Structure 1
Amino acid sequence: MAIPQRFSLVTLGVADVEVAMAFYRRLGWREAPSSVVGEVAFFATPGGVLALWETAELAKDAALPTMHANAPSFRAVALAINLGSRDEVDDAVGDWVLAGGSISRAAAETEWGGYSGYVADPDGNLWELAHNPSWPLDERGLPVLHGA
């Protein structure tokens, strides 16, 4: 059996769905009508769907224990948004902070020839905001990988 090479949905565990929804709304994102205020939020993107769900409910659904108070804040996962220029990265980082997020690593030139920074939402979910001149963006804003 072959599993399709794609993802349909990314679910972020959050402490409070309504607070998290408000943050992503301040970024200018609009949740899908299938969202249930206070329970789960869905944001359609040109790639997959982003979902926000209470961490305890996500852990329960996956049959895993909820993270304890001493758990590391870094979850070893980062989502990324590729942008068309360095200026767009800087603008996005500024908007992220204005919406209530934080900067993990300021945007800077990278060893791979691009420009990127890391930001976190109020629940600590990590996002990279990047410009990669080797990956042009298609009409949906998604990177085009040469040879793929």
Structure 2
Amino acid sequence: MDPRITVVTLGVSNLDESIRFYRDGLDLPLRDREPDSDIAFFTLEGTWLALYPRDLLAEDATVLDEASSGFSGVTIAHNVSTKAAVEEVLMEAKAAGGQIVKPAQEVFWGGYSGYFADPDGHLWEVAYPQLTDD
């Protein structure tokens, strides 16, 4: 796995309020987005910060029972350049003692991703954000 983090996603309870906090309060640069979009991205130096409703983030990671799973509402994303690389990184994490939480699969936003948990339960998404056809 390359030593880089692409996106840190915070599961938030009120997306509009959180956007105001990060954009207006902390002056983070908000990327263009559709007004009714349920995700917001802020471009930072070397990575992005994403805000996404907490319940939808838990659903995407297949954490069905947030209370008993220890889900903290935070995921870390590592983007790769191919679907095969998603599979490779997930297997690398598993071999190192991680747990596959969501096997790699086609996802609703058009890419391909899966999740693993590190030994402390921190969730990592490994994603191929397909921008063009393979």
Name the TM-score, length of structure 2 as normaliser. Answer: 0.49
Q: Which of the two has greater helix per residue?
A: 2
The structure having more radius of gyration, on CA atoms, is 1
